A and B are shown apart, each in its own frame.
Chain A
Amino acid sequence: MIINFDNAATTYPKPPSVKKAVAEAVEKFGGNSGRGGHALAMRTSRALYSARSAAAEFFGAQPENVVFTMNCTYALNLAIQGIMKDGGHLIISSMEHNSAARPAAKLALDGKVNLSIAEICPDDSDTVENFRRLIRPDTKAVVCTLASNVTGQLMPWREIGKLCREHDICFIADGAQACGVVDIDISEGINILCTAGHKGLYGITGTGLLITDGKYRISPVIQGGTGSSSLSLRQPDMLPDALESGTPCVIGAMSVKAGIEFIRRKGIDSIFAHEERVCSRFVRELQKNRNITIYRDQQSNYVPIVSFNAAGIPSEELAGELAEHGFCLRAGFHCAALAHTQLGTETGTVRFAPSVFSTESDAAALANTINNIVNRKKLIKKY
């Protein structure tokens, strides 16, 4: 028995339509997109464009401003390194995943940029104020996750976007945990949206997206074959080619397209409502146990993710025991050094992350198992 509550890492299972799209892509789209004029290449190129177009429509962008990457980390690296190429001041939030924090830290440690960290607070207006205070004349970009991958806290991204627009600062948003459960249109203040294809968008692993409004030029950090301007040794300047060197993963792109279509059919609000119901049930059950700490604050909004700890039990130990019962949850530090430092969670947390396929009864069964484990361990300690 496998019951997956580790969907913040990657969603599983995938919708049947995604599995079908992958099988069809393997069968039919075996050409190299944008390279060659034969039937196979043309068919594959059109398929990739259709995926690009679907993602563009979903996030309010133009198809040429959608770049397929191998994951969200890759997209964030392209964005951060590409925007900060000539130096300047960069602000990131205190809840960033290492996918944003590490490239930012690397640039700072190499002396190429000045880096500031804005503290995320339970109150959104405090958070926005923290960003505002750090802005300097040479601030080039703000990087902020739309939702924390540890606690699920939803950030005031529209307000941060507005702040950036007022100061002509490029706003790079990490949408890995929000895309697919929160309606996101980049015209609402995001200049560059980076996200995973394999999480809330229900594509396969090895997929990611960088979507831009085109306002800020992203200098390519990878060069290579694009199928365009082939006689020139200069990397093309035009998107998506500028940032998409090498053969793209058409099969992955088609899985993302099918995932987006699945979300559209289900309705993003209804997906959020369902997952939040599952979370609420889980939280209600856990709150019955006074030895459990849940990292949610009444002042904040959340995407359907719940981080928790049981007193005296290291997170990895608890997750290990749950795995023996068939429950898949991620414990530890979730590749989020900054977030866990701010939370003060010395042994990390256990993270509960449902998907559209999760059920309230499974959440209740998990909570019951957690309570039993915690009570048993407490008894053992007592005697």
Chain B
Amino acid sequence: MLQWLLSPEKGGLILTVIILEMPSYTFAVKSEKLLKARGISCELKRNINAAPGSCGYSLHVKRDFNRASEILKKNGIPFIIKEKGGG
């Protein structure tokens, strides 16, 4: 899915931000710390429209989406790619 989002030629968007919805606030802050420690710019925000299984917070990742996704997966952090902001 992430690859598709990153491929404008396949109908995806050119991303400037990707929003990762988190299942718990603890995971949200842990994710933020993990990504920032690895130089990935991100911001923790309250959701406007929270998905049913979320904690109401999401991580707005501004670049290195694939790397961010891999880091979170590697650390066993569940997340849902909810929205993307186009450029």
Binding site for B on A (CB under 8 A): 33-37, 42, 45-46, 49, 52, 62-64, 226-232, 236, 238-241
Contacts and interface: CB of A to CB of B under 8 A. Distances in A.
Contact of B24 (A42, A46, A64): A64
B56 A64 contact: no
Given A36-B46, A37-B46, A63 B52 contact: no
Contacts of A226: 24
Contacts of B26: 34, 49, 52, 63-64, 239-241
Q: Which among B29, B52, B53 has the highest number of chain A CB atoms within 10 Å?
A: B29
Contacts of B50: 230
A228 B26 CA distance: 10
B14 to A, nearest CB: 28
A62 B46 CA distance: 24
28 contacts: A33-B25, A34-B24, A34-B26, A34-B55, A37-B45, A37-B47, A42-B44, A42-B46, A45-B25, A46-B29, A49-B26, A63-B26, A63-B29, A64-B24, A64-B26, A64-B27, A227-B55, A228-B54, A228-B55, A229-B52, A229-B54, A230-B56, A231-B52, A236-B23, A238-B27, A238-B78, A241-B24, A241-B55
A49 B50 CA distance: 21
Contacts of A239: 26
A153 to B, nearest CB: 36
Nearest to A66: B26
Contacts of B53: 229, 232
B30 interface: yes
Interface string B47-72: 10010111111000000000000000
